[in-house]
Amino acid sequence: MQLDMEHRQDTLVVRLGGELDLGVADKLRLTLDKELFQGKIRHLIINLSRVTFMDSSGLGVILGRYKRLTQQGGKVVLVGAQPPVKRVLELSGLLQIMEDFPDEAKALSKIV
């Protein structure tokens, strides 16, 4: 899994690549929590455009951050999920509670 993060005021933009599965879920969870909950991050944009596979453990990481941030009045949005990953997100119901945008610019404009 590749991971790149960028802070934009009170928003954390996370760009993921590769497989988001059980083998990387704990590391991703710990990394995100460290960034999200030690600073003044209110919103999270997760760019999935380079993610090739996601299983239930990856969904769990996203859902956990969603629950914590929305309880604090924040938002979590997704960007650019490719068809196989988007299908997993649809079947899980995550796209019913989170918005999916084609690019980061549109996601940022929605949050701001």
Q: How far is CA 95 from CA 8, 46, 100, in A?
A: 24, 13, 7
Residue pLDDT tens, the chain, 112 long: 999 999 998 999 999 999 999 999 999 999 999 999 887 899 999 999 999 999 999 999 999 999 999 999 999 999 999 999 999 999 999 999 999 999 999 999 988 6
8 alpha carbon, distance to own chain's centre? 15
Token pair for 70:
């929305």
- Domain architecture of the chain: domains with CATH: 2-111 (3.30.750.24)
83-92 and 56-71 helices cross at what angle (nearest 10)? 60
> Do 76 and 43 contact (CB within 8 A), yes or no?
yes
Task: Quote the pLDDT of residue 111.
Answer: 87
Task: Quote the pLDDT of residue 38.
Answer: 81
β-bridge partners, 88: none
